[in-house]
Structure 1
Amino acid sequence: MTSLPPTLLPDSTHAQYNWRASARRRRALLLVLVLGQTLAATWLLLAVLPYHGRTWVEVGIAALFALLFTWLSLGFWIAMTGFVLRRLGGDQRSLLRRQDAATLASTPLGRTAVVMPIYHEPVARSLLGLKAIYQSLEASGELQHFDFYILSDSRDADVWLQEQAAWQALRQELGAQSRLFYRRRKLNLNHKSGNIADFLRRWGRDYQYMVVLDADSLMGGDTIVQMVQLMQRHPQVGILQSSPRLLNAQSLFARIQQFANQLYGPLFTTGLAAVQLGEAAFWGHNAILRIRPFMQHCGLRRLPGWGLFKGSVLSHDFVEAAYMGRAGQEVWLEPELHASYEESPPTLSDELTRDRRWAKGNLQHLWLMLFSRRLRLAHRLAFLNGIMGYLASPLWFGFLVLTTVEVARLVLWPINYFPQPNQLFPLWPEWHPTRALALVGFTLILLFVPKLLALADVLISGQRRRYGGALRLCLSVLLESLASALLAPIRMLAHSRYVVEALFNVNLRWAGQNRSGETSWLAAVLDQGIGSLLALSWSAFAYWLQPMFFLWSLPVAVPLVLAAPLFVLFSRIGIGTWLRDRGLLLSPDEHNGNALLDALEQPSSLPDLCERDAFVEAVIHPTTQQLQAGLAHAPRARRQQQELQLLRQRCLEQGPEQLEPAHKQLLAADAQSLRWLHEQVWLSAADSPWGRRLANRIAH
């Protein structure tokens, strides 16, 4: 690798000391605020409880409340920090503000690989997104510093043949034969992290940096160039993470997520970046990595424990950031890097399917948080925060169970005036409705003030028109808040189940994410029926116990009872379109336009190409057959060849629809079989299965 001239190394030890000192001060202040707020709220809860925490049930209620309130308070103060910093013009300690714009723009670039790992993704959408990024970099005038790699782990023959044909078409469309590459692993080990590791073993030494994308990522060329320049100027930085915004939402659920991300996200990411500074987390995509230290220090060993804590690390990104920090490299989150995007799952069902994998991966981090050596405290806390993202749900569920037990004990059993052993004086239960209302109000402040701060931030900065105007913006916030309140209990019950499954090490099927589609009524009822019955039974029991407790249960019970209709409702694209047409749940990218999103809609041969039967195209079309055979295996051993001969003869006589998926994969992966089928199909009779397909292909 080429070393940088001294003029490109502006950071001194003093500058590094300053950000670390700032980080310590900020984290200490955050700790005081969170713990102080939590102690006050827990004291208020104990004052509300009838026995003031002198029974084991009330001790459990108070303990769970304190844990949940701590996590809630942390989010509140991070949002408050973000609001203050944005009103002051930004964080002066951020990486982007260490040099002026002119100095950064004059920084030469290093050689960079842009990599997109894919696994059974919608091929046209993934490659059209990569095309938009390629053209944006080309427009920046810096394309010569970048190469692009599509790294496939797809196992289905129809998918990978489609990927390869679309890759070749995109190379020709862009004139990128020497810059756009495709590689499919034959052996799928360790999922995405193994895919990246395989790329680095093959080509890592050829590049200084690596920009990692997801299949739905979009990034502007100027943003990528700016990220490379920041890495050039700050050689102690190992990972620079942008803050991707959601876009291209169609369904009601996706539009709600997109609106919340674009309105509230800047506050939380600014606050989070201000607390983390050079010890941030890596989110696995829309980020740039310094390849040499990443290869040296971020290899993921198998976990040595038992059950959940044994085997491959599933959620690799936080771990890689922690290993970078352990090696002395800095990891930064930069909220002011714009033109970085991803897409939301289109339905709640798709989000929860993804969360099921993430829950298991994040819970694995408990082992690393406790037993990995020399990790920085900030990265251990990042592990804890990720764990709490899912563990909060069973804690909330446990809190509901204990409060139900407490009410049932007070209603169904005689009051015990001597709950503690050897108690000399009776303990009279007390009820304080005013304190209970104060506690509810205290909690609501933590939940809703960050939303109001984000709303105020937009109104003060004069960006209201980008969200459809002040009135529509306020209505959209109300709509999003209602949706969040409805979805929270559903997520709570689902995440609680996922945590239990993870702790029992239930095996998961790793599949590509759904990027489009709506939820059917049958799927929603089958998925949510048990939870709805459980909520209905709990609510009925609450009504039987005490009407006031029944009313208290409704905000949780009603969404769960109506979970199936909500799944269907939120998945509907028509409702999302109807709201967008009326200026609700708008995002700035929809109001101002987005060049990257517009590029996805430009005419291209890829969508038509991807609608065809990829296996049939690989057999019939001469150019496609030549490409696919060139990427397939060389001739195999004699025993395997005998099996392949039988399969291709069967395929020729009966047609491809008679093949099992596994047999189709064997033929599609064998170069000799593809060539033989191509020759025989063009000689087949007109009334044969392949003859009819050939005639239909020629006609079109």
Structure 2
Amino acid sequence: MTDSAKASHERRWTIVVALRRLVLTSLVVIQTVFAAVLLKNLLPYRGDDGLEIAIIVVFAILFCWISIGFWLGVFGFLLRLRGGDPHSLMGSSTEGQRSQAAFAKTAVLMPIYNEPVDRSLGGLAAVYKSIESTGALEYFDFYILSDSRDPEVWLAEQAAWYDLTQSLNAGGKLFYRRRPLNQNYKSGNVADFFRRWGKNYRYAVVLDADSLMAGETLTKMVQLMQLNPRVGILQTAPSLINARSVFARAQQFANRLYGPIFTSGLAGLQLGEAVFWGHNAIIRVDAFMQHCGLKKLRGFGLFKGPITSHDFVEAAYMGRAGYEVWLEPELTHSYEESPPSLVDELTRDKRWAKGNLQHIWIMLGARRLKLAHRLAFLNGIMSYVTSPIWFSFLVLTTIAAARLYLLPIDYFPDAYSPYPLWPRWEPDQAVWLLALIAGLLFAPKLLALLDAILQGEVKRFGGLRSAFKSVLGEIILSVLLAPVRMLSHTRSVIEGLFNLKLSWAGQNRSDELRWRDAIVHQAPGSLLAIAWAAFAYWLDTAFFWWSLPVAIPLILAAPTSVLSSQVRLGGILHRHGFFHTPEEADREELERILPKVTPSKLRPVRGGRFVQAVIDPEINHVHRLLGHHHRGGIKATVLATLRRRCLLHGAGAMTRSEVTSLLQDRESMLWLHEQVWRSSPDSAWSPYLVHRSDARGTLSASQ
């Protein structure tokens, strides 16, 4: 594409996106005003006192949020109906132009933190093999960037990395680094890579520990970046795969069926001013290094210290520097995984909620940010703040009902009016308003099903009958989970605003939820719901029935969480036609694109990974190559004391921090290796040694 053609495309999409946003804003405002007026006419005092005004304002905010989601889905459906968005980045070039674009050196980064080693490194190996099949492997290098703190975990990572390097013949292509200090979370890990090796690469692809991307997709992304030098970040829309529990299967189905229309709608309303989701995306390294450094916030409380949710901020900074950020729904074969249970999702959301709340400071205080990116911050903030707003709405309506039934009626709420106002609480008529809200929530899901039919994909969802009952099943589950999410997000927002410290650990990606954990997490909400429903029943029967759609899911939260986390039940539902997805139907095709590769040295090791790193000559040598060297001073003296105690009393006598200190020192690991093999038969290390006469002795593995 010539420079003039690129400039013309940019002018065209900026005009188009402005018109689209104007239309969306108009539709949302008109719809919200209509609903607010409808609610006003249903309230006892017709919105003529402070309490009812507060109810209307809170309702309008919630309705506006729902309305935006509805019109995004409708807009995405219309774009897909016409065959795609002609103003997208993919639409700016032809397949022939992309195929002619030269490749450039690209790093594939996988930051990990106490993750399941076989899953994360096996996924990266699958990406490696997929790129290799495209013939473009020479342009890609792969980096495992570990922040793991548990020695057993990062020793397993190293062993798996070494095994994969050998089995893939990836010497000089597949690298491993573990940071001694994991400052600033994932963004700090990636920044550490750029400081060390960023100058060697034009592009970097960032993956999560559960990410998978096809080689064809990655090479196409590089070609798009080559053709569009003003693009700083190109984001794919990952699909969910590998779900097994009921919860994960429902999430996977919803993502795969509803995702295309919502993603298309979002991309169409952002175009070159999209956001970065932190993974399954490609970034222009020099621009990122120059413009996307994250300084610590200088505010107070929550707004002081490192930025925990970095991706939206980096996209905003890239846009501020004059680069475009694109979300491309047509870049397929990009995948990630869903948390296996509701509790795991809500635990993850605690970090996300706090990170998004931090964006308030940046949204209001950062200079020269584009309006689109400030609105993206607002969108992320509202995705969590709507929960306490919904909770406030329930509290306000409960107070209004209690006032009507328990307090003397105020016939003259307007002190200057000579005419009385006869209060009238009409919960029956509120059903029509609820029906309107339900339509906005669920109509896009039916549009998504219609889209699958029109696109000829419904067979890949198990057929029309299977897809339709899966939509109904997902709606039922989402209705049961929505109040639980609301209460949990409300708590997360409050904790975030008070800047309570959160733990940062690897995510559970496969374990089922235990009853004890579910009860601990959900009991407070269930007790609150029981008390609220009982109070509503005592007040008035009609108000009680109005409260049940929220109260019942909260009361049943623990059993819902446990049952929805079960793999066996997920399999039963799947066999009965629920929650089928195209990737499951085309499993052979998926495995062809992303061949399954599993590191072979991840079996349990007798004595643990530290014992293996001390005894096994090969593993010890590899580990020392990755360690540090301390030349002298107090640190060296302390290490000498630690390794002598370790030799005398064995690995079990060492604390985790002591083991870490030894592992990070090359001299200590070499000394321990040599001394252990020279130790007496009755030493603490003797049970782990075999073939003592063999200078290359090995570590026995448990069967």
TM-score by length of 2: 0.96
Task: Indicate which of 464, 476, 491 corresponds to 2:485.
Answer: 491
CA distance in 2, matches of 1:225, 1:699: 43
- The secondary structure found in structure 1 opposite 2:177 is strand
Give the corresponding residue for 1:637.
632
Give the corresponding residue for 1:255.
249
Q: How does 1:310-329 map to 2 (within 5 A)?
A: 310-329=304-323
Give the corresponding residue for 2:649.
654
Give the corresponding residue for 1:676.
671
> Residue 210 of structure 1: CA displacement?
0.7
Q: Report if the CA contact (8 A) 1:248-1:597 is conserved.
A: no
1:114 pairs with 2:147: no
Task: Indicate which of 382, 393, 398 corresponds to 1:388.
Answer: 382
Q: Report if the CA contact (8 A) 1:259-1:586 is conserved.
A: yes
CA distance in 2, matches of 1:123, 1:315: 24
Task: Indicate which of 339, 343, 355 corresponds to 1:345.
Answer: 339
- Between the two proteins, the alignment pairs up a number of residues equal to 694
Give the corresponding residue for 2:695.
none
Q: Report if the CA contact (8 A) 2:118-2:599 is conserved.
A: no
Q: How does 1:257-272 map to 2 (within 5 A)?
A: 257-272=251-266
1:34 pairs with 2:32: no
> Residue 180 of structure 1: CA displacement?
0.9
Q: How does 1:210-225 map to 2 (within 5 A)?
A: 210-225=204-219
Give aligned-pair identity as a percent. Answer: 54
- The secondary structure found in structure 2 opposite 1:136 is helix
> Residue 612 of structure 1: CA displacement?
8.1
> Residue 526 of structure 1: CA displacement?
1.4
> Residue 597 of structure 1: CA displacement?
4.9
> Residue 608 of structure 1: CA displacement?
2.8
1:91 pairs with 2:116: no
1:202 pairs with 2:223: no
Give the corresponding residue for 2:513.
519
Q: Report if the CA contact (8 A) 1:132-1:596 is conserved.
A: no
1:425/1:266 CA distance change after superposition, 3 Å: same
> Residue 652 of structure 1: CA displacement?
2.3
Q: Report if the CA contact (8 A) 2:40-2:47 is conserved.
A: yes
Stretch moving more, 422-431 or 497-506? 422-431
For residue 19 of structure 1, what is the amino acid of its counterpart? W
Q: Report if the CA contact (8 A) 1:117-1:215 is conserved.
A: yes
CA distance in 2, matches of 1:494, 1:249: 23
Q: Report if the CA contact (8 A) 1:44-1:435 is conserved.
A: no
Q: CA RMSD in A?
A: 1.7
Q: How does 1:567-586 map to 2 (within 5 A)?
A: 567-586=561-580
Any idea what the Cα deviations from partners look like across 1:166-187, whole Å, max 9, x if unmatched?
1111111111111111111112
> Residue 44 of structure 1: CA displacement?
0.4
CA distance in 2, matches of 1:656, 1:699: 16
Any idea what the Cα deviations from partners look like across 1:196-251, whole Å, max 9, x if unmatched?
11111111111111111111100000000000000010111111000000000111
Give the corresponding residue for 1:13.
7
Task: Indicate which of 523, 526, 539 corresponds to 1:529.
Answer: 523
1:179 pairs with 2:173: yes
Q: Report if the CA contact (8 A) 2:614-2:620 is conserved.
A: yes
- The secondary structure found in structure 1 opposite 2:309 is coil
Stretch moving more, 290-299 or 577-586? 577-586
For residue 255 of structure 1, what is the amino acid of its counterpart? R
> Residue 635 of structure 1: CA displacement?
2.6
> Residue 638 of structure 1: CA displacement?
3.3
CA distance in 1, matches of 2:340, 2:146: 23
1:624 pairs with 2:624: no
CA distance in 2, matches of 1:388, 1:332: 22
Q: Report if the CA contact (8 A) 1:76-1:450 is conserved.
A: yes
> Residue 646 of structure 1: CA displacement?
2.9
> Residue 584 of structure 1: CA displacement?
1.3
Gaps of 5+ in 1: 1-6
Any idea what the Cα deviations from partners look like across 1:363-411, whole Å, max 9, x if unmatched?
1111111111111110000000000000000000000000000100001
CA distance in 2, matches of 1:246, 1:331: 23
- The secondary structure found in structure 2 opposite 1:241 is strand
Give the corresponding residue for 1:556.
550
Q: Report if the CA contact (8 A) 1:49-1:58 is conserved.
A: yes
Q: How does 1:679-690 map to 2 (within 5 A)?
A: 679-690=674-685
1:612/1:15 CA distance change after superposition, 3 Å: farther
> Residue 602 of structure 1: CA displacement?
4.7
> Residue 422 of structure 1: CA displacement?
3.6
1:11/1:313 CA distance change after superposition, 3 Å: farther
Any idea what the Cα deviations from partners look like across 1:665-691, whole Å, max 9, x if unmatched?
111111122112212222233444311
> Residue 413 of structure 1: CA displacement?
1.1
- The secondary structure found in structure 2 opposite 1:90 is coil
- The secondary structure found in structure 1 opposite 2:577 is coil
Stretch moving more, 10-19 or 214-223? 10-19
Q: How does 1:58-137 map to 2 (within 5 A)?
A: 58-137=52-131
- The secondary structure found in structure 2 opposite 1:608 is coil
> Residue 639 of structure 1: CA displacement?
2.2
Q: Report if the CA contact (8 A) 1:123-1:610 is conserved.
A: no
Q: Report if the CA contact (8 A) 1:128-1:600 is conserved.
A: no
Any idea what the Cα deviations from partners look like across 1:616-658, whole Å, max 9, x if unmatched?
1101110001111221110353322332233223322332123
Q: Report if the CA contact (8 A) 1:166-1:610 is conserved.
A: no
Q: How does 1:274-353 map to 2 (within 5 A)?
A: 274-353=268-347
Q: How does 1:44-55 map to 2 (within 5 A)?
A: 44-55=38-49
CA distance in 2, matches of 1:483, 1:417: 44
CA distance in 1, matches of 2:23, 2:600: 56
- The secondary structure found in structure 2 opposite 1:695 is coil
Stretch moving more, 666-675 or 478-487? 666-675
- The secondary structure found in structure 2 opposite 1:288 is strand
> Residue 123 of structure 1: CA displacement?
1.1
Q: Report if the CA contact (8 A) 1:357-1:508 is conserved.
A: yes
Q: Report if the CA contact (8 A) 2:129-2:595 is conserved.
A: no
CA distance in 2, matches of 1:522, 1:664: 33
> Residue 433 of structure 1: CA displacement?
5.8
CA distance in 2, matches of 1:128, 1:165: 13
CA distance in 1, matches of 2:430, 2:370: 40
CA distance in 1, matches of 2:368, 2:686: 66
Q: Report if the CA contact (8 A) 2:427-2:546 is conserved.
A: no
For residue 113 of structure 1, what is the amino acid of its counterpart? A
Give the corresponding residue for 1:4.
none
> Residue 106 of structure 1: CA displacement?
1.7
Q: How does 1:411-426 map to 2 (within 5 A)?
A: 411-426=405-420
> Residue 67 of structure 1: CA displacement?
0.3
Give the corresponding residue for 2:694.
none
TM-score by length of 1: 0.96
Q: Report if the CA contact (8 A) 1:9-1:235 is conserved.
A: no
CA distance in 1, matches of 2:51, 2:97: 62
For residue 632 of structure 2, what is the amino acid of its counterpart? A
CA distance in 1, matches of 2:627, 2:491: 42
Give the corresponding residue for 1:164.
158
